[in-house]
Structure 1
Amino acid sequence: MRHSNDRPAAPNFTQACIVMFGINLTWIFMVIWAIWGLLAVALIGWVVNKVITRIDVARNGARA
């Protein structure tokens, strides 16, 4: 049985995750723009912004 204190630390992939989220969001918006137009991209971007804001308020509102 391995002891937990002899394992190496796990790498921090937070920055890579943020970068890949931005890259994926960009190409998905480009595909939506090509198929349905700029208005659809603007609407989806607005919805994503509202969802992220709600998550932020829910997470930080409990701390306040």
Structure 2
Amino acid sequence: MRDTDERPSAPNFTQACIVMFGINLTWVLFAIWAVWGMFAVAAVGWAVNQLINRIAISRS
């Protein structure tokens, strides 16, 4: 049986997660824009901004 102290640390995927969030947000906003127009994109962007602000306030 392996000793648990010999395990390497897990890789940090924070930067990759942030980049993929941005990429996914971009294509989702383009799809919304193509289907429902710029007003819907602005509304979704505002909602995401409010959600991020609430998370930031709750973490501090």
The TM tier, using the shorter chain, reads: over 0.9
Structure 1: gaps spanning 5 or more residues? none
Structure 2: gaps spanning 5 or more residues? none
Superposed counterparts of 1:15-34, under 5 Å:
15-34=15-34
Shift >3 Å, 4+ stretches: none
TM-score w.r.t. length of structure 1: 0.87
Q: RCO higher in 1 or 2 (8 Å CA, sep ≥ 6)?
A: 2
Size of the aligned set, in residue pairs, is 60
Query: In structure 1, what is the equivalent of residue 8 of structure 2?
Result: 8
TM-score w.r.t. length of structure 2: 0.93
Identity of aligned residues (%): 63
Provide the aligned C-alpha RMSD in A. Answer: 0.9
